[in-house]
């Protein structure tokens, strides 16, 4: 990663210039900021489809030759610094470039860089198939992402991976002023139907599984803190707790069976580093938020405001001083992909006016930008976010 000059862009607030990393850190700490930080693509739930990214870059007159896929399942693109700078973004993804890249022409002009060890093969019906490590996933001929098994295609030893990632994190830290986060920590909750039934019928076995998982995760966290704790700003746990209509389980059951392990994980991270704990969970999760706060969770994304019981004003009023909301800035289900640029801008204005109050907020849309979202809408969303950020 080259020093592109992004770190020179600062803003004055209370007599002190603020860089992107400082801005996000202060927002997460609920301290005053010069403007609301903006994230596009730091995580695999604040990202953008490679198809939408290809269209965006072409629309802006930028090169479309080397768009890299960082998540083969969701077909997410690595967001280049060129785009991060254009839209005043403050965060960047921590993800290693593929060692053996392969150019994959999906259809028409759409061509992306993927790892060569997972080359898709084409079916007679025009769909794409990936078979890897006894897993299988499929994308229809005109599809925008894969369905099936959520394949881990990293193809590296964990210790080697951590070492390489630590070097990448050091480069980001020293050569730029972006905020970054380490993904990959497992949650102590699963949405698999059998697991949910076991949670009710055999909670002791689930507790035993969670204890074993926690021990493994703490050992991993120890390595992470030692090797890159001073170069990253947070670590991420991922597991959906809600559906569109409500929680996946009774919050009381979650509090008894899963929450103690979230709490132990957070305690370890906070006592042994200056890192924050960032949780990804989709859906209608309002009943879980007080529990997550009690566990020590610092950040929650993607703030699915389109789900039931997820009104932005109520969320901010009840929890805005206790946890950082990361997302919720634009409704991706009902506005971003189907509205006009003006309607997108209005939605961003409305949500930003609520969430930015009293700090504790990082702007991003609700989850990833889908492959068929018009580039004009993406530009409208990000430009409006910056305009309404307080800059």
In a domain, 29, yes or no: yes
Q: How many residues would you count in the chain?
A: 391
pLDDT of residue 262: 97
Phi and psi angles of residue 66, each rounded to the nearest 5 degrees, phi first: -135, 55
In a domain, 131, yes or no: no
In a domain, 116, yes or no: no
* Residue 204: CATH number of its domain: 3.20.20.210
Phi and psi angles of residue 132, each rounded to the nearest 5 degrees, phi first: -155, 130
pLDDT of residue 14: 56
pLDDT of residue 134: 84
pLDDT in tens, the chain (391 residues): 444 444 434 334 555 779 999 999 999 999 999 999 999 999 999 999 999 999 999 999 999 999 999 999 999 999 999 999 999 999 999 999 998 999 999 999 999 999 999 999 999 999 999 998 889 999 999 999 999 988 888 777 889 999 999 999 999 999 999 999 999 898 999 988 999 999 999 999 999 999 999 999 999 999 999 999 999 999 999 989 999 999 999 999 999 999 999 999 999 999 999 999 999 999 999 999 999 999 999 999 999 999 999 999 999 999 999 999 999 999 999 999 999 999 999 999 999 999 999 999 999 999 999 999 999 999 999 999 999 999 6
pLDDT of residue 157: 82
pLDDT of residue 55: 98
Residue 372, domain extent: 6-47+89-94+158-387
pLDDT of residue 371: 98
In a domain, 61, yes or no: no
> Considering only CA atoms, which of 79, 83, 81 is closest in space to residue 69?
79
In a domain, 260, yes or no: yes
Beta-strand pair 324-326/361-362: parallel
pLDDT of residue 391: 67
In a domain, 330, yes or no: yes
In a domain, 247, yes or no: yes
Using alpha carbons only, give the angle 185, 188, 194 rounded to the nearest 5 degrees.
120
Cis peptide before 18, with omega less than 30 degrees from 0?
Answer: no
Tokens encoding 259: 């929450």
Q: How far apart are CA 218 and CA 229, in angstroms?
A: 14
pLDDT of residue 2: 42
Q: Please say whether the beta carbons of 147 and 138 come within 8 A.
A: yes
Which residue carries 């992909």 as its tokens? 337
Please tell me whether residue 3 adopts helix, strand or coil conformation. coil
pLDDT of residue 4: 42
**pTM for the structure as a whole:** 0.94
Please tell me whether residue 195 adopts helix, strand or coil conformation. helix
> Considering only CA atoms, which of 33, 113, 78, 135 is closest in space to residue 360?
33
Q: How many domains does the chain have?
A: 1
């Amino acid at each position: 990663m080259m020093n592109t000059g992004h770190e020179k862009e600062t803003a004055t607030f209370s007599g002190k210039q603020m860089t992107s990393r400082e801005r996000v850190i202060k927002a997460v700490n609920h301290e005053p900021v010069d403007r609301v930080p903006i994230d596009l693509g730091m995580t695999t739930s604040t990202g953008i489809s490679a198809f939408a990214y290809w269209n965006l870059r072409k629309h802006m007159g930028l090169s479309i030759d080397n768009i890299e896929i960082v998540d083969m399942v969701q077909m997410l693109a690595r967001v280049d610094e060129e785009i991060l700078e254009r839209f005043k973004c403050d965060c960047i993804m921590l993800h290693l470039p593929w060692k053996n890249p392969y150019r994959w022409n999906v259809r028409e002009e759409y061509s992306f860089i993927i790892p060569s060890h997972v080359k898709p093969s084409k079916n007679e019906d025009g769909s794409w198939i990936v078979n890897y490590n006894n897993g299988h996933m499929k994308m229809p001929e005109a599809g925008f992402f894969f369905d099936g098994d959520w394949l881990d295609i990293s193809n590296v030893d964990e210790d080697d991976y951590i070492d390489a990632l630590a070097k990448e994190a050091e480069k980001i830290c020293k050569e730029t002023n972006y905020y970054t986060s380490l993904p990959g920590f497992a949650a102590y909750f699963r949405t698999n139907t059998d697991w949910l039934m076991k949670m009710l019928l055999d909670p002791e076995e689930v507790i035993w599984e969670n204890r074993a998982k926690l021990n493994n995760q703490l050992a991993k966290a120890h390595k992470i803190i030692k090797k890159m704790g001073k170069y990253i700003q947070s670590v991420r746990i991922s597991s959906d707790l809600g559906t569109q209509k409500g929680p996946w389980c009774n919050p009381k059951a979650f509090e008894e069976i899963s929450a103690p392990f979230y709490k132990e994980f957070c305690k370890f991270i906070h006592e042994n580093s200056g890192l924050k704990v960032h949780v990804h969970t989709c859906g209608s999760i309002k009943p879980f938020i007080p529990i997550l706060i009690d566990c020590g969770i610092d950040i929650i994304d993607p703030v699915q405001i389109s789900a039931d019981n997820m009104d932005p004003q109520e969320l901010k009023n009840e929890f805005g001083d206790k946890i950082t909301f990361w997302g919720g800035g634009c409704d991706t289900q009902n506005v971003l992909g189907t509205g006009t640029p003006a309607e997108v801008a209005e939605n961003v204005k409305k949500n930003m006016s609520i969430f930015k109050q009293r700090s504790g907020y990082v702007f991003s849309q609700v989850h990833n930008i889908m492959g068929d979202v018009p580039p004009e809408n993406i530009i409208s969303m990000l430009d409006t976010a910056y305009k309404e950020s307080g800059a």
